[in-house]
Amino acid sequence: MGNLIDIQSQIEKLQKQANDIKSKEFAATLHEIQAKMQAFGITVKDLQSTKGAEGGRGKAKSSLAKAPKAAKTPKARKPSAPVAAKYRGPNGESWSGRGLMPKWLSALVAQGQSKESFSVAAAHA
């Protein structure tokens, strides 16, 4: 374990490395920002503006000054009436015929029985 002087020396070296990296990346970042400003026609005045309507930029400019809008919440669905059962199993299980086939019916179909043999309409006919 190093002592305080060693740690401070390491901090100083790391600060120098960070400053070197920052100075190297600064020019490239500045060039990238300038290229985007030129491509989109953004001026320094646009960046400094807080009102949004000034400078003739209209809506595009106003988006810089405004707070982001809250995300829209999905509309609540109206509760629907339960759907009548179309299939009934040997132990009283039921299925409306919507969605995935329930396990009890899948197992019976896998055993070779037909799905239609469990139809409620077939039982009443």
Q: Check: CB of residue 106 under 8 Å from CB of residue 95.
A: no
Q: What is the pLDDT of residue 62?
A: 45
CA–CA distance from 76 to each of 51, 57, 58 (Å)? 36, 38, 35
Residue 19 has pLDDT above 80, yes or no: yes
Residue appearing with tokens 């400053």: 19
pLDDT tens track for 44-63: 888 887 665 444 444 444 44
Least confident of 6-10, 13-17, 42-46: 42-46
pLDDT tens track for 90-120: 999 999 999 899 999 999 999 999 999 989 8
The most confident of the ranges 31-40, 50-59, 76-85 is 31-40
